[in-house]
Amino acid sequence: MFVELNNLLNTTPDRAEQGKLTLLCDAKTDGSFLVHHFLSFYLKANCKVCFVALIQSFSHYSIVGQKLGVSLTMARERGQLVFLEGLKSAVDVVFQAQKEPHPLQFLREANAGNLKPLFEFVREALKPIDSGEARWTYPVLLVDDLSVLLSLGMGAVAVLDFIHYCRATVCWELKGNVVVLVHDSGDAEDEENDILLNGLSHQSHLILRAEGLATGFCRDVHGQLRILWRRPSQPTVHRDQSFTYQYKIQDKSVSFFAKGMSPAVL
Amino acid sequence: MTPSEGARAGTGRELEMLDSLLALGGLVLLRDSVEWEGRSLLKALVKKSALCGEQVHILGCEVSEEEFREGFDSDINNRLVYHDFFRDPLNWSKTEEAFPGGPLGALRAMCKRTDPVPVTIALDSLSWLLLRLPCTTLCQALHAVSHQDSCPGDSSSVGKVSVLGLLHEELHGPGPVGALSSLAQTEVTLGGTMGQALAHILCRRPRQRPTDQTQWFSILPDFSLDLQEGPSVESQPYSDPHIPPVDPTTHLTFNLHLSKKEREARDSLILPFQFSSEKQQALLQPRPGQATSHIFYEPDAYDDLDQEDPDDDLDI
């Protein structure tokens, strides 16, 4: 996890809020550093994490996780992390005969209407174990990312329904958190992606939006991050606050600074 | 104005805005966006309806019942009838706990009521329904529910119905939004600037012109409304009190002012395209003589005077 981002979000692993949906989106840049941040954040917070990783392999996340101080392999072995590796298990859908529906069953069906098998997988992974002692603090669902589900043939409403059920189960019933990443196509006219992004924006409590700089690529400033808090628990005078910071990604951390205040410029 | 008079005036105006939104009945469309959310205003309207003694039904699809009821005190919560479609709207758990027919079935069931009590139905949200149901089905159901009280011969037995629909504008194309807008008696579009929320209210009263007003407001933690004048003047950055205002008409090299005679001459001038009786007389009388102006034209070497082929001189 990136300590500076924790400071900006005013949170630490010990006292993070529960029952929240966090939306990560990126436009003209790669927002996956936010996924790595939240993965290591919640593992350090001793949460039970279900990670639906559709974009990269387990070893990729594991290598980055080691730089951030968490070991995904050990987390998986002790049962803290349930990892659905989309790239590997997509092959299982086709080649292995499964009795119960596979989480990625929609890849096989011609007219898959919904993501119910994927939801059942998530619910099964995060349901509390009645063993008497509570090993983990609260469950967390992490999805990287939802836009690829649109590319794989699901409709925007089907993906919204999936997140709706995840919210109902993970956020409301189990008092956990959900973090999802959606790409913003920006100029490309992708109506389904826009419906997905706007629909999730309305349901989210926190939106982190990583944008490339309008002027193009820069060596010292990799992009800017917009933080938008929605639906705070108490409606105060300053509801729906929004902040913008610029950032630079380094090997093991990300440094944030106010616009125009990059150390390279000053 | 004493503080108590000011407070009464404040609540008077507050009642005016919420009353005007609820008075017409029918469909009240609350159009919000990601930046300016409308659920707080929906809850403020629900609270107002409940305090007025109306029967309030909530079709909750987007947020959990606890989250919707949060912020209401217990007497309001006791008056709300909550239909929960958040936990299992599509019946994936296969337990049939939810209302059979889903949210649409619940909405249609409300068409069949016969109480004389006025009813408010809050749809949270209309966007959720519009994404999953065909637009025509939803519009027919909304029309049937919101126009129950306008059936002739039956109007005394059924009370006024208000349907409050929360619509997220960015999720839908102009077609469905336009269809819902044409069904709505009142439309509130939320926006704002500099942290201050603004409601743009369009009321369509029957047999009258639609009225349009804007109102700055904020919602207090107990979901009552606080009307405001707009972003404060001090927050505008470009008015600097230390620089005296400059009169730009001084030190000019040309004359911007008119003398009295010039002003009279200007006021008595007849505009060329204004049809007055003098002009009519002038046109109807025969012309005194030939036109006194001639045009002399010397054609260039490249000019083409042949009217039949105007493009002949283009070198293509």
- Evaluate whether residue B196 is within a structural domain: yes
Distance from CA of B87 to the nearest CA of A (A): 6
- Evaluate whether residue B73 is within a structural domain: yes
**Which residue in A180, A205, A138 sits closest to A31, CA to CA?**
A180
B171 to A195: CB separation less than 8 angstroms, yes or no: yes
Of all helices (H) and strands (E), which one includes residue A122? helix A116-126
Q: Which residues of A touch B34 (CB under 8 A)?
A: 198, 201-202, 207, 228, 230
Q: What is the CA radius of gyration of chain B?
A: 32
Long-range contacts of A10-17 (CB under 8 A, 24+ apart): A13/A41, A13/A42, A13/A44, A13/A45, A13/A46, A14/A45, A16/A41, A16/A42, A16/A45, A16/A177, A17/A177, A17/A205, A17/A233
pLDDT in tens, B8-52: 444 555 557 777 788 778 899 999 998 888 899 999 999 999 988
- Evaluate whether residue B157 is within a structural domain: yes
Chain A interface includes B175 (CB < 8 A): no
| A93 three-state secondary structure | helix
Of all helices (H) and strands (E), which one includes residue A53? strand A48-53
pLDDT of residue B310: 65
- Which member of B87, B170, B220 has the closest CB to residue A168? B87
Strand segments, DSSP code E, in chain B are: 26-32, 55-60, 80-84, 119-124, 161-168, 186-193, 196-203, 211-219, 225-228
Under 8 Å between Cβ of A197 and A182: yes
pLDDT of residue A153: 86
Q: Which residues of B touch A160 (CB under 8 A)?
A: 131
Q: Which residues of A touch B92 (CB under 8 A)?
A: 114, 116, 119, 165
Chain A interface includes B194 (CB < 8 A): no
Residue owning tokens 């959900």: A178
Q: Which residues of B touch A164 (CB under 8 A)?
A: 86, 89
pLDDT of residue A166: 95
Please give the Cα distance from B232 to B236 (Å, whole number).
8
Segment 69-88 of chain B within 8 Å of chain A by CB:
71, 86-88
Helix, strand, coil fractions of chain A, as percent rounded to 5 = 35, 20, 45
| B146 three-state secondary structure | helix
Identity of residue A23? L
- Which member of A172, A198, A234 has the closest CB to residue B170? A198
Instruction: Tell me the C-alpha to C-alpha distance, in Å, between residue B302 and each of A179, B171, B306, B310.
Output: 74, 61, 12, 12
- In the DSSP assignment, the letter for residue B273 is T
- Evaluate whether residue B96 is within a structural domain: yes
Chain A interface includes B35 (CB < 8 A): yes
Q: What is the CATH number of domain A22-128+135-211?
A: 3.40.50.300
Chain A interface includes B131 (CB < 8 A): yes
* Residues ≥6 apart with Cβ < 8 Å to B305: B299
pLDDT < 50 regions, chain B: 1-10, 152-153, 155, 233-237, 239
Q: Identify the domain containing residue B166 by its residue range.
A: 11-228
* Residues ≥6 apart with Cβ < 8 Å to B23: none
Residue B21: both structure tokens together = 């939104």
Closest residue in B to A235 (Cα–Cα): B221
CATH number, domain at B154? 3.40.50.300
Chain A interface includes B143 (CB < 8 A): no
Instruction: Tell me the C-alpha to C-alpha distance, in Å, between residue B107 and each of A138, B29, B46, B92, B126.
Output: 36, 16, 17, 21, 11
| A80 three-state secondary structure | coil
- Evaluate whether residue B292 is within a structural domain: no
| B198 three-state secondary structure | strand
Enter the pTM of the model.
Answer: 0.79
pLDDT of residue B291: 60
Residue owning tokens 């469905």: B176
Based on the structure, what is the number of domains in chain B?
1
Residue B175: both structure tokens together = 């077609």
Under 8 Å between Cβ of A178 and A22: yes
Burial class (CB in 10 A: 0-12, 13-18, 19+), B178: exposed
Instruction: Break chain A into its structural domains and give their ranges.
Output: 22-128+135-211
Strand segments, DSSP code E, in B77-160 are: 80-84, 119-124
- Evaluate whether residue B91 is within a structural domain: yes
pLDDT in tens, A78-117: 999 999 999 888 888 878 776 777 888 888 877 768 899 9
pLDDT of residue B36: 87
Q: What is the DSSP string of B274-298?
A: ---HHHHHHHHSPPSSS-S------
CA A60 to chain centre: 16
- Which member of B71, B90, B171 has the closest CB to residue A161? B90
pLDDT < 70 regions, chain A: 98, 112, 131-134, 187-188, 232-241, 266
Please give the Cα distance from B84 to B102 (Å, whole number).
10
- Evaluate whether residue B234 is within a structural domain: no
- Evaluate whether residue B3 is within a structural domain: no
